[in-house]
């Protein structure tokens, strides 16, 4: 699987002259250090699809904060390992975050989920 090519193809399939003007895919770095991926699901076939949280080497507190189960102010804590990852869907977006080597795994997680029936 070439995650970049497949993500490009998924993005291309969403582009309809409107979706891409207000929605899309964002990939950025974070200071943990690591990666953050946000993919808009609004007006796609994935908008109402169920996604089970995937968490590796992060505390339950991180998961609860990410899912909106804890109100601000949030407590800042380090991941449990440099090999951390957290993926979830909230408010019409796929959200993925992970350590320095987790970008491809985050993208593959999204892409596999996007193909499920």
Instruction: Give me the domain span that covers residue 22.
Output: 3-115
Q: How many domains does the chain have?
A: 1
CA 10 – CA 67 distance, rounded (Å): 25
pLDDT of residue 31: 85
Average pLDDT value for residue range 84-109: 97
Contact 116, 99 (CB under 8 A): no
pLDDT digits (tens, 9 = 90+) for 9-42: 999 999 999 999 999 999 999 988 999 999 999 9
pTM above 0.85, yes or no: yes
CA 77 – CA 98 distance, rounded (Å): 14
54: left (phi over 0), alpha (psi -120 to 50) or beta: beta
Contact 75, 95 (CB under 8 A): no
Contact 78, 32 (CB under 8 A): yes
């Amino acid at each position: 699987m070439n995650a970049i090519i497949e993500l490009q193809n998924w993005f291309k399939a969403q582009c309809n002259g409107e979706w891409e003007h207000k929605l899309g895919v964002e990939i950025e770095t974070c200071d943990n250090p690591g990666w953050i991926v946000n993919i808009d699901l609004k007006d796609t076939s994935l908008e109402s699809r169920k996604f089970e949280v995937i968490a590796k080497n992060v505390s339950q507190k991180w998961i609860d904060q990410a899912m909106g189960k804890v109100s601000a102010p949030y407590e800042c804590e380090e991941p449990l390992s440099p090999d951390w990852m957290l993926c979830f869907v909230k408010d019409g977006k796929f959200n993925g975050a992970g350590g320095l080597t987790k970008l491809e795994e985050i993208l593959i997680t999204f892409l596999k989920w996007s193909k499920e029936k």
